[in-house]
C-alpha cells in the first residue's frame, strides 16, 4: 500500500450554494438571512458606498442588524486583527464579503478564523476569489506574503450580473488573464498525475482557455450580453471549479510567482492581479523556451501575444507601467519570485533570478528560432 492511498484528503470543491442571475442579489434576502441576523459586511469603503443600492435595501428589508467594516489598508494581518475585534463587538453571526478579490479573500479568512459562515458577493469578474477555499495575504503596503488554505469554500456565492456589469471593462479583462493562467499553470504543476480529479481539473482548464479564446473579444464589446455572461461565468465560476477539483496538486506555477514578486514593487499596485498574472504567463513560457528550448512554448506565447493585443492585456513590463523601473527593483522582484518556497520551483527545471530577469524583459521577443534566423541573415 503506498502513502497516497493511506493519507486522508479533504476536498473543498465548490461553494455550498451558488445563486446567479440578473438582480440576483435583490432576490437573495432570505438565502442570506439563513446564516443569521447579524452579519458583518466586509469590503472597501469606496466599493461598499458605490454599490450600496444593491446590498443595503436587501438587508434592511430582512430586518437584519448588520455592521460594516473595511479591510484597509489591505488584506493583511493587521486588517484581520481589527476585523476580528469588529466580529466580537458586533457579535456577528456571519460574514458577507462584497467587492473584488482582496475584499473577498479578507472576508473568507476572517470567517475561517472566527468559525462563522461566509457569503461572497463579487462586484467584478476580475478573479475567482468568490469561489475558492484560499486567501492571499499581503503586507499593509500591498506586497504579497503568503496564501492560506481555508477549511471550505464559501457557504453562499451570489453572482449578480447587473452588479458585475457596473464594474470597469478592465476588471473583466484582468479576470480573463487570471483565468487563462489556469491552463498554463495546471498543465505544468500536475505533471504526469494519474489522479482522476487532477486529470479532470487540467482538462477543465483547457476548456476554460478555449472558451476565453473564442468569446472574450465579443464579450468585452457587449457588456450584459449572453456571451459576456458566458465569459463572466468562466472567470468567476469555472476558474474556481478548477482550483477546487485540482486542489494543492493543481496550483500556481511561474505566472503567479512572477505576480507575487511584482507586488513588491510599489508602482505595480496600479495594475490589477490578473494583468500581472497574464504578463507572468508570458514569462513562464519564455522560461520554457530559453531553458528547455521548448518550441511549443514559442507557439503558445505568440498565440497569447496576439490574444492579449486584441483584448488589452499587458505584453511587456512597459505595458504594466514598469518601463522605468531600475535594475535593482527588477532583481528584487525576481529574487522574491525565486525564493525557496515559491511555486516557480514547480517548473520541471531550475530557475535562478538572473534567468527570470532575462525572461521578464523579453516577453514580446520573437521566438528563439526566429532570432537565430535573423542573426544568420544579418551575419
Residues found near Zn ion in the complex (CB under 5 A): 178
Least separation in angstroms between residue 153's CB and Zn ion is 16
Q: Whose CA is closest to 367, among 284, 293, 281, 278?
A: 293
252 marked among binding-site residues: no
Minimum CB separation of residue 273 from Zn ion in Å reads: 6
Rg, the chain, Cα only = 21
Residue 102 marked ligand-binding: yes
Q: Consult the annotation and say whether 259 binds a ligand.
A: no
Q: Where are the beta strands (DSSP E) in the chain?
A: 18-21, 39-43, 67-70, 94-99, 118-122, 134-138, 144-149, 156-160
Which lies closer to Zn ion via its Cβ, residue 117 or residue 175?
A: 175
CB of 158 to Zn ion, least distance (A): 21
Residue facing Zn ion at closest CB distance: 178
Residue in the structure block whose three cell numbers are 504543476: 189
CA distances from 128 to 240, 254, 345 (A): 5, 19, 24
- Other Cβ atoms closer than 10 A to 276: 26
Cα torsion 310, 209, 334, 353: sign:
negative
- Is 317 annotated as contributing to ligand binding? no
Nearer to Zn ion, 160 or 178 (CB): 178
What residues have CB less than 8 Å from 7, skipping those under 6 apart? none
Q: Which residues are 160's β-sheet partners? A: 21
Smallest gap from Cβ 186 to Zn ion, in A, equals: 12
Q: For Zn ion, which is the closer residue by CB, 28 or 263?
A: 263
Nearer to Zn ion, 52 or 248 (CB): 248
**In the complex, what is the shortest distance from the CB of residue 277 to Zn ion, in angstroms, rounded to a whole number?**
5
Q: Is 140 among the annotated ligand-binding positions?
A: no
Of 158 and 242, the one with the shorter C-beta distance to Zn ion is: 242
Query: Judged by CB, which is closer to Zn ion: 178, or 343?
Result: 178
Residue 103 labeled ligand binder: yes
Closest separation between CB of residue 215 and Zn ion, Å? 20
- Residue 120 annotated as binding site: no
Please indicate if the annotation marks 104 as binding a ligand.
yes
Give the three cell numbers for residue 340.
525557496
Fill in the DSSP letter of residue 367.
Answer: P
Q: Is 107 annotated as a binding residue?
A: no
57: enclosing H helix or E strand? helix 52-61
Report the nearest approach of Zn ion to the CB of residue 64 (Å): 32
Nearer to Zn ion by Cβ, of 251 and 345: the residue is 251
Strand partners, 68: 41
Residue with cell 455572461: 229
Pairing of strands 67-70, 18-21: unpaired
Compute the 3-state secondary structure of the chain and give helix, strand, coil in percent, each to the nearest 5: 55, 10, 30
Under 8 Å between Cβ of 358 and 290 = yes
Question: Which residues neighbour 116 within 8 Å (Cβ) at sequence distance 6 or greater?
Answer: 87, 92, 93, 94, 95, 110
Binding-site sequence positions for NAD(+)? 101-105, 132, 134, 138
Binding-site sequence positions? 101-105, 132, 134, 138, 178, 256, 273
Binding-site sequence positions for glycerol? 178, 256, 273
Amino acid at each position: 500500500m503506498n502513502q497516497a492511498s493511506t493519507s486522508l484528503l479533504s476536498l473543498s470543491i465548490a461553494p455550498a450554494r451558488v445563486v446567479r442571475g440578473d438582480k440576483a442579489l435583490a432576490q437573495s434576502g432570505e438565502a442570506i438571512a439563513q446564516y443569521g441576523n447579524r452579519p458583518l459586511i466586509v469590503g472597501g469603503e469606496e466599493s461598499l458606498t458605490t454599490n450600496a443600492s444593491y446590498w443595503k435595501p436587501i438587508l434592511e428589508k430582512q430586518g437584519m442588524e448588520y455592521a460594516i467594516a473595511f479591510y484597509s489598508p489591505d488584506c493583511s494581518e493587521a486588517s484581520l486583527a481589527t476585523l476580528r475585534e469588529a466580529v466580537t463587538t458586533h457579535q456577528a453571526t456571519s460574514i458577507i464579503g462584497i467587492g473584488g478579490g482582496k475584499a473577498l479573500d479578507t472576508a473568507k479568512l476572517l470567517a475561517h478564523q472566527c468559525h462563522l459562515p461566509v457569503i461572497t458577493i463579487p462586484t467584478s469578474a476580475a478573479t475567482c476569489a468568490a469561489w475558492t477555499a484560499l486567501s492571499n495575504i499581503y503586507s499593509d503596503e500591498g506586497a504579497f506574503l503568503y496564501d492560506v488554505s481555508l477549511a471550505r469554500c464559501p457557504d453562499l456565492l451570489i453572482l449578480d450580473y447587473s452588479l458585475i456589469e457596473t464594474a470597469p471593462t478592465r476588471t473583466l479583462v484582468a479576470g480573463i488573464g487570471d483565468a487563462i493562467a489556469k491552463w498554463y499553470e495546471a498543465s505544468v504543476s500536475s505533471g504526469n498525475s494519474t489522479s482522476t480529479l487532477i486529470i479532470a481539473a487540467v482538462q477543465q482548464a483547457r476548456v476554460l482557455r478555449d472558451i476565453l479564446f473564442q468569446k472574450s473579444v465579443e464579450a468585452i464589446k457587449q457588456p450584459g450580453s449572453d456571451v459576456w455572461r458566458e465569459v463572466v461565468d468562466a472567470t468567476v465560476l469555472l476558474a474556481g471549479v478548477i482550483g477546487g477539483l485540482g486542489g494543492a496538486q493543481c496550483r500556481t506555477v511561474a505566472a503567479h510567482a512572477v505576480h507575487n514578486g511584482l507586488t513588491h514593487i510599489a508602482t505595480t499596485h496600479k495594475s490589477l492581479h490578473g494583468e500581472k498574472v497574464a504578463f507572468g504567463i508570458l514569462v513562464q513560457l519564455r522560461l520554457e523556451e530559453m531553458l528547455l528550448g521548448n518550441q511549443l512554448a514559442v507557439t503558445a506565447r505568440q498565440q497569447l501575444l496576439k490574444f492579449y493585443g486584441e483584448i488589452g492585456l499587458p505584453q511587456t513590463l512597459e505595458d504594466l507601467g514598469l518601463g522605468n523601473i531600475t535594475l535593482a527593483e527588477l532583481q528584487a522582484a525576481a529574487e522574491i519570485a525565486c525564493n525557496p518556497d515559491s511555486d516557480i520551483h514547480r517548473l520541471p527545471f531550475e530557475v535562478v533570478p538572473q534567468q527570470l530577469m532575462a525572461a521578464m524583459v523579453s516577453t514580446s521577443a520573437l521566438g528563439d528560432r526566429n532570432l537565430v534566423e535573423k542573426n544568420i541573415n544579418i551575419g
